[in-house]
Amino acid sequence: MKKNSISIFISFSIMVIGTLLPSIGPVSDRGVSAIALVLAMVLLLAAQALPIGVMCFLCILAQPLMGITESLSESASYWANYLFFFVIMAFNIGLAFSNTTLPRRVLLFMLEHVKKDARGPVLAIWLTTALLSGIIANFAVIALMLAFAWEYLSLFDDPVKKKKTGRCLLLGMCASTELGGNITPLGSSINIMVINFLNDCGFSISYAKWIGISLPLFVILFFLMTRILFRMCPPEALSQPKIQECIAANQTLRPLSAKEKKLLAIVSVMMVLLLISPFIPELKSELIIVAAGILLMLPGIEVVKYDQLAKSEAFTQTIYICCFIGLAGILSSAGVVDVLTAGFQSMMPSRPSVFIVVALLCVLTIVLCNFLPAAAVPSVLTVPMITFCASVNIDPVLAVIPLAMCSNCSWILPLDPISLLTYGKGYYTLMDMVKPGLVLTAMTAAVTGGLDGPAVPASLTSSSSRKQHRR
């Protein structure tokens, strides 16, 4: 209690000081207040001094009081949008899976065929998550795979082993989702955004060439990620009698029920639509997921009932996610991103090498994406970076692909929508995420930052890119 009181006092002090401070250099007084609010919320989050819902509503209330927004309605407008319904329905899809035996069927099959130690099942879930993320939107994948994670953790009788395994499993699922989203342009909206920016600026790269560059990086980063997490937060193994009991139980599961067949049909159609959505502008991923979530609750289908959704943690977690994404939007609108971008460009030498440009860009992107919405960073940095690279005779493709990859890797703080889905479940704390997150972040920056000219075959950059580069 004393620790919580101290954390609350320090957080409120930071907010008061931030409100009273004038502008600092290029950062406006509004930007200073926004930064102070972010720091205060992160401190409350780290100390777990307040319930998540209370902290989120406090964050919204504090914005007009600190002069960050003009009114409470403006504060709420940053997060009270389609995202609320999108996240709720994503939760609902995961809840639908939890209402069936499908997660158990998959996990029991996996236990029977993977290495029966502490790492085998965890690695299988990670790899499945990463590969699905390569072709389906990251948020949809993590929402689906969490149902399988909860099922696996439910097999542990020892609460200590369950928590240790859950920490490792969930941290790795977040990293796997974001790494897998880099494999193809379909895996993340950020990838599509970057490709469109390239096309608008007179450069291009095909999907095949994107995969040719990103797939080797994924293999390297995924391998390093597994080594780091297994060393820093090792999972526990199920007892052999428990494994054999589960395998035997797999043989006695009844055939698929009508509810399970309905769920599989709806989710299969959803995945197909998500897969083709980048090629059909009218098919928005958020609309597909919301429609699937609603369909699961309709009379005659009722794979999941609304009462079940209302009694779950979906609404609390959704408020949490929307609040912090809205706060990140405040930071962006206050000009903090513009200041950091200008600072980055001023650090560049007049004739930099590809390595220097890519390395600095990776560091800046990773830092920003741990405090801002991932999509906000490439939307601000991509076009200036393309222009800058062209002006100093550097192929922009070699800079913007690492930018896209690093934008998908927010591993230090649980402020990204992917990690927000798992944080607060009690399996890991903020510091549990920060420690391996710092190592993973340094690893990502080092590997992607090494994407210079000699590292990528000339055949992997498009002819239009090389033509523009020569001009």
Nearest C-alpha neighbor of 180 from the set 150, 139, 149: 139
181 C-beta neighbours (distance < 10 Å), count = 34
Structural domain for 59, as ranges:
1-77
Contact, 305 vs 348, CB < 8 A? no
Q: Is the pLDDT of residue 182 over 60?
A: yes
What confidence score (pLDDT) does residue 238 get?
Answer: 84
Better-scored residue on pLDDT, 119 or 189: 119
Give the highest mean pLDDT range of 198-207, 261-270, 276-285, 313-322.
261-270
What confidence score (pLDDT) does residue 225 get?
Answer: 92
Domain presence at residue 467 = no
Domain presence at residue 181 = yes
The pLDDT of 152-167, averaged and rounded, is 90
What confidence score (pLDDT) does residue 345 get?
Answer: 65
The pLDDT of 197-225, averaged and rounded, is 81
What confidence score (pLDDT) does residue 4 get?
Answer: 77
pTM for the model stands at 0.69
Domain presence at residue 182 = yes
Does residue 130 sit in the same domain as residue 48?
no
What confidence score (pLDDT) does residue 128 get?
Answer: 86
The pLDDT of 84-99, averaged and rounded, is 78
Residue at which a domain ends, from 268, 299, 314: 314
What is the rounded distance in angstroms from the CA atom of residue 125 to the CA atom of residue 172? 9
Q: Measuring CA to CA, how many Å separate 289 from each of 137, 141, 203, 285, 420?
A: 10, 11, 32, 6, 18
What confidence score (pLDDT) does residue 223 get?
Answer: 93
What confidence score (pLDDT) does residue 101 get?
Answer: 78
Does residue 33 sit in the same domain as residue 152?
no
Does residue 86 sit in the same domain as residue 68?
no
DSSP conformation letters of 338-363: HHHHHHHHHHS-SS--HHHHHHHHHH
pLDDT in tens, 273-303: 877 876 777 777 778 888 988 999 998 888 8
What is the rounded distance in angstroms from the CA atom of residue 152 to the CA atom of residue 136? 23
What confidence score (pLDDT) does residue 454 get?
Answer: 38
Q: Is the pLDDT of residue 466 over 60?
A: no
What confidence score (pLDDT) does residue 449 get?
Answer: 64
Residue 132's SS3 state is helix
What is the rounded distance in angstroms from the CA atom of residue 94 to the CA atom of residue 89? 9
What confidence score (pLDDT) does residue 163 get?
Answer: 92
Alpha helix segments (H runs only) across 21-153:
29-47, 52-65, 72-77, 82-98, 102-113, 119-133, 138-153
What is the rounded distance in angstroms from the CA atom of residue 277 to the CA atom of residue 407? 21
Does residue 86 sit in the same domain as residue 35?
no
Does residue 151 sit in the same domain as residue 241?
yes
What is the rounded distance in angstroms from the CA atom of residue 137 to the CA atom of residue 188? 6
DSSP conformation letters of 301-315: T-SS-HHHHHHSSHH
Proportion of the chain above pLDDT 70, given as a percent: 83
Does residue 148 sit in the same domain as residue 247?
yes
Does residue 227 sit in the same domain as residue 263?
yes
The pLDDT of 191-199, averaged and rounded, is 75
Nearest C-alpha neighbor of 184 from the set 272, 275, 273: 275
Does residue 161 sit in the same domain as residue 46?
no
pLDDT in tens, 398-433: 777 788 888 777 777 776 767 777 876 778 887 888
Residue 113 banded pLDDT, cuts 50, 70, 90: confident
Residue 453 banded pLDDT, cuts 50, 70, 90: very low
Does residue 249 sit in the same domain as residue 267?
yes
Residue 27's SS3 state is strand
Give the highest mean pLDDT range of 34-38, 41-45, 458-462.
34-38
Better-scored residue on pLDDT, 324 or 242: 242
Contacts for 371 with CB less than 8 Å, ≥ 6 apart: 38, 328, 331, 413, 415
Does residue 31 sit in the same domain as residue 121?
no
The burial class, CB within 10 Å (0-12 / 13-18 / 19+), for 163 is middle
Domain presence at residue 58 = yes
Work out the mean pLDDT of the chain and round it to a whole number.
78
Residue 469 banded pLDDT, cuts 50, 70, 90: very low
Domain presence at residue 258 = yes
The pLDDT of 74-90, averaged and rounded, is 73
Does residue 48 sit in the same domain as residue 185?
no
Residue 470 banded pLDDT, cuts 50, 70, 90: very low
Residue at which a domain ends, from 280, 314, 348: 314
What is the rounded distance in angstroms from the CA atom of residue 301 to the CA atom of residue 266? 10
Residue at which a domain ends, from 256, 284, 314: 314
Does residue 110 sit in the same domain as residue 125?
yes
Domain count, the chain: 2
Domain presence at residue 400 = no
Domain presence at residue 198 = no
Kindly give the interhelix angle for 258-276 and 102-113, rounded to the nearest 10 degrees. 80
Better-scored residue on pLDDT, 236 or 338: 236
What confidence score (pLDDT) does residue 321 get?
Answer: 66
Q: Is the pLDDT of residue 104 over 70?
A: yes
